[in-house]
């Protein structure tokens, strides 16, 4: 099963180690905001394997476990990462993540329209209807966490929902 490593990847050496250990993709978050040069180097060295995670609150990119505002707007930041060569983004509206009250479909749709790379939705999906709404935005995929753990969504049903449209 392909594995995407996320969290704590702040250096090229750490990324090399994760790939050597079998990771298929590398997900960069706060480091992408603080040090876009590392993203550019990673994209060059590991083509197609770098994902930038964008955690936003009210449109602003947040860092440090969602505790610090960056001043960057999510759409502008996403476009900048794509310009550096990032081939995939993950987008989380952190105001919704883990709350079990649905994803921010409007913000997700705006992100999908704004960039020419796949976007994976994360945060707040609690029902099959919401999963269908995420799919309708054109998002490449969705991360479902708490809803699976708490039994609000059955994984087989979710997969069938997406497969069957």
Burial (CB count within 10 angstroms: exposed 0-12, middle 13-18, buried 19+), residue 162: middle
Give the position of tokens 């502008």.
76
CATH, residue 101: 3.20.20.70
At 114, is the pLDDT very low, low, confident or very high (cuts 50, 70, 90)?
A: very high
Closest Cα to residue 47, out of 75, 78, 80, 25? 25
Look at residue 24 and tell me whether its pLDDT is greater than 70: yes
Q: How far is CA 95 from the centre of its chain?
A: 15
Over range 89-114, report the average pLDDT: 83
Q: How far is CA 70 from the centre of its chain?
A: 17
Look up the domain containing 32 and give its range.
Answer: 4-164
Q: Which residue did the predictor score with more confidence, 42 or 58?
A: 42
Query: pLDDT tens across 130-161, in order?
Result: 999 999 999 999 998 888 999 989 999 999 98
Closest Cα to residue 108, out of 100, 120, 125? 120
pTM of full prediction above 0.85: yes
pLDDT of residue 99: 52
Out of 57-61, 63-67, 79-83, 99-103, which region has the weakest mean confidence (pLDDT)?
A: 99-103
At 81, is the pLDDT very low, low, confident or very high (cuts 50, 70, 90)?
A: very high
**Torsion on CA atoms 35, 37, 40, 45, rounded to nearest 10:** -100
* Mean residue pLDDT across the chain: 91
Number of domains in the chain: 1
């Amino acid at each position: 099963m392909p594995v995407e490593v996320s969290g704590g990847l702040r250096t090229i050496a750490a990324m090399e180690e994760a790939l050597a250990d079998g990771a298929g993709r590398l997900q960069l978050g706060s480091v992408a905001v603080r040090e876009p040069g590392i993203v550019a180097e990673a994209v060059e060295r590991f083509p197609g394997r770098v994902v930038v995670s964008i955690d936003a609150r009210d449109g602003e990119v947040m860092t440090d476990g969602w505790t610090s505002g960056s001043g960057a707007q999510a759409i502008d930041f996403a476009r900048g990462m794509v310009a550096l060569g990032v081939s995939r983004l993950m987008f989380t509206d952190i105001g919704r993540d883990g709350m079990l009250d649905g994803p921010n479909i409007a913000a997700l749709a705006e992100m999908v329209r704004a960039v020419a790379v796949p976007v994976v939705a994360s945060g707040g999906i609690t029902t099959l209807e919401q999963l269908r709404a995420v799919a309708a935005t054109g998002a490449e995929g969705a991360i479902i966490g708490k809803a699976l753990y708490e039994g609000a969504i059955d994984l087989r049903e979710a997969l069938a929902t997406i497969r069957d449209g």
